[in-house]
Structure 1
Amino acid sequence: MTDKPISRFPVPALKDLPEDIAARITTVQEKSGFIPNVFLVLAHRPDEFRAFMAYHDALMDKPGNITKAEREMIVVATSTANQCQYCVIAHGAILRVRAKNPLIADQVAINYRKADITPRQKAMIDFAMKVSAAAYEVGDADFDVLKSHGFDEEDIWDITAISAFFGMSNRLANVTSMRPNDEFYTLGRG
């Protein structure tokens, strides 16, 4: 374990947080066995923490045509492009768990085009990467490709929103120097 700070900004103590935020963090700790650093770093600003988590949950925890593992693939690939160590490591762990595959996160992070994923998933990530890097170029042809792989308009919105949301998250994590928890490195590998 490291003794380095998890953020360059102040990190509040759990006991000093508003009751609703402390309760959410405690629930996550009880479920996972540790507190992901993102919760403590973002709790520095309680109103923003609540808004961030509400949008995160709305995007990542919903049922639909895009599985929870595929949503994590989008996060891992776009976070790699944005050079966000925290999100690649943390969401890579979640991807391994949700996909029940100890190899997939590393493959997607290093080069999703060579990963053991389906053509549908590659098309999904291609689009997410375009949203992440050049959203101004998105056009009808991009929608046509996704629709040819069985994605509908709502799915395309989800892919777009996940890519955009994690673009913001990646920037916050990078500027705050948010460190991934050591626990994430081994989660879902054994």
Structure 2
Amino acid sequence: MSHVPYLFNVTKPAPDLAPDIAERIETVREKSGFLPNVFSALSYFPAEFRAFFDYHDALMEGESGLTKAEREMIVVATSATNRCTYCVVAHGAIYRIRSKHPYRSDQLAIDFERADLSDREKAILRFAHTVSLHPETVTPEDFAPLYELGLTDDDIWRVGAITAFFALSNRLAGFAKIMPNQEFYLMGRDRPAP
């Protein structure tokens, strides 16, 4: 006899949400027009929900020398490496909106080296991929190309922290089979290519 976990491809939030979590969920639902499935899944674990989204917001919305589009770019490219359907699709949608490029997230998910990116963006993604795949090999020499393109130590920390945080997110979405909401697939695609 097999047992299917109650948290497998969750699409509805937990019942009896704490007021702060219910408020956050309602705010997200109002802003986006739907509730991303990751919010539903994490709502079953209130302490983790709070910690996850607090760190997410610090990395993705806080002050930084990285643009918000660059941050989303890191998520899409490294999540593709980690084979996370949820994060590639969901953050690909956010990247399309923030970068104002309707097709570039698809390029990032397949081969960022061939994507239509600046030297700075490619250097960021090369470093992020090293952190994602071989973090133990990072040396001070790996910082040099980033310094040459104007990144600071704080910016480089942020690249590494985003990569690491979303590796955690990728694995949560992977084992729990959290799938992207249908709404994500078309977001940011309603404009002609630049």
Question: Measured at CA, do residues 188 and 12 of structure 1 come closer, stay the same or move farther in structure 2, by a change above 3 Å?
Answer: closer
| 1:168 maps onto 2:168 in alignment | yes
- Tell me how far apart the structure 2 counterparts of residues 187 and 11 of structure 1 sit (CA, whole Å): 19
Aligned partner of 1:99 in structure 2 is 99
Alpha-carbon distance change, 123 to 37 in structure 1, aligned in 2, over 3 angstroms: same
Q: How far has the Cα of 1:11 moved from its partner?
A: 6.4
TM-score (structure 1 length as normaliser):
0.93
Contact kept, 8 Å, 2:10 with 2:37, in 1: the verdict is no
Quickly say closer, same or farther: Cα 1:12–1:146, change in 2 above 3 A.
Answer: same
2:3 equivalent in structure 1: none
Whether the 8 Å contact between 2:11 and 2:37 is mirrored in structure 1 is no
Which residue does 1:129 correspond to in 2? 129
Distance in 1 (CA, whole Å) between partners of 2:10 and 2:116 is: 41
Structure 2 counterpart of 1:30: 30
- Residue 100 of structure 1: how far off its partner (Å): 1.0
Shift of 1:9: 6.8
Matches within 5 A, 1:38-77: 38-77=38-77
Residues 6-25 of structure 1: pairs in structure 2 closer than 5 A: 7-8=7-8, 13=13, 16-25=16-25
Deviation at 1:106, TM superposition (A): 0.6
Change (3 A) 1:145 1:41: same
- Amino acid corresponding to residue 185 of structure 1 in structure 2: Y
The answer to whether structure 1 residue 110 and structure 2 residue 71 are counterparts is no
Query: Aligned equivalents of 1:99 and 1:10: distance in 2?
Result: 30
State the AA in 1 paired with 2:76. Answer: V
Select the structure that is richer in helix.
1
- The gaps in structure 2 that reach 5 residues or longer are 1-5
Taking the aligned partners of 2:118 and 2:55, their CA distance within structure 1 comes to 28
Tell me, which stretches of 5 or more residues in structure 1 are unaligned?
A: 1-5
Structure 1 counterpart of 2:138:
138
Contact 1:7/1:179 (8 A) holds in 2: no
Give aligned pairs, total. Answer: 185
Rounded Cα–Cα distance in structure 1 between residues aligned with 2:117 and 2:7: 34
State the Cα distance separating 1:65 from its structure 2 match: 1.6
Report the Cα distance in structure 2 between the residues aligned to 1:128 and 1:55, rounded to whole angstroms: 18
Report how far residue 13 of structure 1 moved: 3.9
Moved over 3 A (4+): 9-15
Question: For 2:90 and 2:9, how far apart are their aligned partners in 1?
Answer: 20
Q: C-alpha displacement at 1:110, in angstroms?
A: 1.0
Match of 2:80 in 1: 80
- 2:151 aligned counterpart, secondary structure: coil
Q: Hey, what's the Cα distance between the residues in 1 that align with 2:24 and 2:151?
A: 33
